[in-house]
Amino acid sequence: MSEETDIELGTSHGTNKGLAIEWDFVALGGLPRAFDAARARLARASLDLTPVLFSRYLLGRPLEEGLARLVAAVGAKSKAVDAAPDIHAAFASSLEEAMPKPRAEVVRFVKDMAARGLKIGLMTQIPEETAKPFVAALDVGDAAVLLPEPATCVGGSGWDAWRRAPRKLQLADRMGVAIAVSADSARGALAAGLGVIALPDALTQHQDYTGADLVTERFTDEVSRVILELLRLEE
């Protein structure tokens, strides 16, 4: 069996129990930042990007594909389809600005999970050499930086990114949980054999999270309870 096949089938890669978190979107407000980056750049191309258009045409797709669909749908005769590099750059810059200031409740939650012995993976589009010092400063043990594939979809991580998490974290079979903010990410994590906690925000709360083990808009005790239950740990 090849390494790629082994990854795809979700075979055990170790003995850890762990948690993979879409750090950019869960802790850094990544979805509003992605929307703002796209809206600002498209305004220069005379295209008014609304939350509805963002969710319908960009969210969950590679940016270049989403822009092509958006321009075709609104009939815009502009160079908006060429805006992807600028949007990617603006979004990356915004994330790096936010990296030192993650949501306090998310940091507390991660610290608690690490203290319970879970292996923590933080999924981010920030370059590893930039992200690692900030991850180390969180003081959550030997948390790993999980890097999505270059063609990450807008607003989340695809199956190809999630399926690599169990190997990177050395997880036992079906002993991993993902925290995602969009339905596309949640489906990718489910397909990779991970349990799923969905944390929708204002841009994704309308989406269908069928299959998720918990859907909640806030970090409550219920999040920890469900994760510990999925990973067969006592509270």
Question: What is the structure's pLDDT at 141?
Answer: 79
Identify whether the C-beta of residue 199 lies closer than 8 Å to the C-beta of residue 181: yes
Question: What is the structure's pLDDT at 218?
Answer: 84
Question: What is the structure's pLDDT at 149?
Answer: 58
Spatial distance between the Cα atoms of 15 and 164, rounded to a whole number of angstroms: 16
Question: What is the structure's pLDDT at 26?
Answer: 93
- State both tokens at 130: 């930039």
Question: What is the structure's pLDDT at 2?
Answer: 39
Stretches where the chain sits below pLDDT 70 are: 1-12, 76-78, 148-152, 235
In the numeric block, the tokens 């082994």 are attached to 6
Q: What confidence tens digit (pLDDT) does each residue in 41-60 have?
A: 999 888 999 999 999 999 98
Torsions phi, psi for 172 (to 5 deg)? -70, 160
Torsions phi, psi for 189 (to 5 deg)? -65, -40
> Helix, strand or coil for residue 28?
coil
Question: What is the structure's pLDDT at 60?
Answer: 87
Provide the b/e sequence for 70-96 (b: ≥16 CB within 10 Å).
bbeeeebeeebbebbebbbebbbebbb
Question: What is the structure's pLDDT at 6?
Answer: 42
pTM, rounded to two decimals: 0.87
Spatial distance between the Cα atoms of 44 and 33, rounded to a whole number of angstroms: 17
Domains observed in the chain: 3-28+101-230 (3.40.50.1000), 31-97 (1.10.150)
Q: What confidence tens digit (pLDDT) does each residue in 87-124 have?
A: 999 999 999 999 999 999 999 999 999 999 999 999 98
